[in-house]
Structure 1
Amino acid sequence: MNSTGRDIMRQSTIIAAAVFMIIGAAVGGGAFGGESVTELQNGALSAEGSYLAPAGPAFGIWTLIYLGLAAYTVWQALPAQRDSSRQRAIGWWVAGSMVLNGLWLVTARYLNLVATVIVIAALLAVLARIIVLLGRDRASGLVDLTLFDGVMGLHFGWVTIATVANTAAWLTQTVPAGLGEQADAWGVAVLVVVAVIGAASALVTRRLAPALATSWGLVWAAIGRLSGEPESTPIGITALIVAAIILVAGVIGLLRARRAAR
């Protein structure tokens, strides 16, 4: 197959992956009947499912991410994008992220929490790969910057905190009751690790979008712990501090990127 044929196959695969993601989201989300996402797995995936789960309004970011992915799918299908070096390097990975995105909701509905953790961890790894690859080839314009760097960055940043919450939900359902009594200490410890990884990622990748999405999730996790259930003032305050650290790191990374570009 020549390069044009491979490019058309890539474009078609991304469209198919986007369709699968939408269908998976509809089926997993209960659009065709059944429980909502917050009711799945005995409520483990709801805003009250663990000490690290963001409050309900945080999940509104999915609307922005899905709209961005839909816009990207249309844009990448244009003839002008067929032989783009960025599309060739990253398009297949984006298709994989869409498949895993839709698969997570199907897994949450029909399988178990362990399976959801495996799928979302795989999604996080694929998105991390996309962010690394984006750093090797600068955006060619505003649309490229928005639909590649912006959308993929938000997806990566949100899935980062979603992976933490998903894993916490699984552990909450499985750990002995004695360890559950130490939830504050465990929650704070995990958030410290998130701060280190999130700040390092922002400084190394020099991107603001992932930091914005992760901080968004952390702020809503703090709101959930300070004003909702399960309540935890130590975790809530720590989440706010970590959100600020990651956001500042993201701004510093962006400023460094702009200075290097000059």
Structure 2
Amino acid sequence: MTGGDQARRTAVVAAEVFCVVGTLVGVGVLGTRVEESSGGALAADATLIAPAGPAFSIWTPIYLGLLGYTIWQALPSNATRERTRATGWLAAASMVLNAVWLLVTQQGWIWLSVVVIALLAAVLGTLVSRLTRERASGAWERVLVDVTFGTYLGWVSVATAANVTAALVQSGVDLGSVLNQVAAVLVVAVAALIGVFLASGLGGRWSVAGAMAWGLGWIAVGRFTDEPRSVVTGIAAAAAAVAVLAAAARFRSRGVVYHGRHS
């Protein structure tokens, strides 16, 4: 094991601790809950692209997975593996960026939060693409690494669209009832295209597609059952969720495989 391996392992552990602190702030234990921060811009009823409240329960398996990954990568037997070296620093960066996003929203800096979540999405996209370099050694690794970061990427991809929309609305952008819904449908369509792109580039990983479909599905539920109501946006979000899952199935059935198993 090299000094670089030890530094990386330590950085991931430190990032996990920072991420936990940021999470405690975001859920209201040490600060203001996310939905109440930034003037309520990120609440479930703030915009047409906001997922309904239950959607955010996806963070529970993500955070548990990140904890599991932190332990996994710290084990001496994994420290020198290609997968660990290829993902460790990116995993640490993702946890730091997640905590920073929560801290930024506490300050009401909504546009800075857009920059942070965009960086987070880019980091996760790079990380998941690197997972194809070496096959997972077993089911536990597949869950702790591939599924965790695939789910993380899929959710953040949808959350980025919601974050941008929240920033625009808080900045006073209002196109009127009809055009607001048209714009929302376009944003959902872009999210669906991103899902198709990820399915194509990553070989149809179910964890990515499933998390995106989860987020889009809860946007649909929110528009059908909560304010601001929009049947058109709800239908578009539901259709986008189906499209993302269909794209994952298509690229898996085509046998788009890199070097590892799809997760």
TM exceeding 0.5? yes
| Conserved? CA contact 2:52–2:218, under 8 Å | yes
Q: Distance in 1 between matches of 2:157 and 2:132?
A: 18
Which residue, 23, 26, 29 being the options, matches 2:27?
29
User: Cα distance, 1:70 vs. partner?
Assistant: 0.5
Q: Which residue of 2 aligns with 1:198?
A: 195
Worse overlay, 95-104 or 175-184: 175-184
What letter corresponds to residue 146 of structure 1 in structure 2?
Answer: V
Which residue, 168, 171, 174 being the options, matches 1:171?
168
Which residue, 129, 133, 155 being the options, matches 1:132?
129
Q: CA RMSD in A?
A: 1.8
Q: Distance in 2 between matches of 1:87 and 1:165?
A: 31
| Conserved? CA contact 1:202–1:250, under 8 Å | yes
1:151 and 2:148 matched: yes
Q: Which residue of 2 aligns with 1:251?
A: 249
| Conserved? CA contact 1:4–1:82, under 8 Å | no
Which residue, 87, 90, 95 being the options, matches 1:93?
90
Which residue, 3, 6, 24 being the options, matches 1:5?
3
Q: With the length of structure 1 as denominator, give the TM-score of the two structures.
A: 0.93
Contiguous gaps of at least 5 residues in structure 2: none
Q: Distance in 2 between matches of 1:80 and 1:256?
A: 34
User: Cα distance, 1:143 vs. partner?
Assistant: 2.1
Q: Distance in 2 between matches of 1:242 and 1:161?
A: 11
Relative distance call for 1:116 and 1:13 in structure 2 (3 A) is same
Give deviations 1:26-71, integer Å, cap 9, x for gaps: 1233202x43211111111110111001000000000110001001
User: Cα distance, 1:179 vs. partner?
Assistant: 5.2
| Conserved? CA contact 1:25–1:106, under 8 Å | no
Q: Report how many residues are paired.
A: 259
User: Cα distance, 1:25 vs. partner?
Assistant: 1.2
What letter corresponds to residue 241 of structure 1 in structure 2?
Answer: A
Worse overlay, 113-122 or 244-253: 244-253
Percent identical pairs in the alignment equals 42
Relative distance call for 1:169 and 1:176 in structure 2 (3 A) is closer
Q: With the length of structure 2 as denominator, give the TM-score of the two structures.
A: 0.93
What letter corresponds to residue 244 of structure 1 in structure 2?
Answer: V
1:68-79 correspondence to structure 2 within 5 Å: 68-79=65-76
Contiguous gaps of at least 5 residues in structure 1: none
| Conserved? CA contact 1:218–1:242, under 8 Å | yes
Relative distance call for 1:181 and 1:74 in structure 2 (3 A) is same
| Conserved? CA contact 2:37–2:108, under 8 Å | no
1:240 and 2:238 matched: yes
| Conserved? CA contact 1:172–1:180, under 8 Å | no
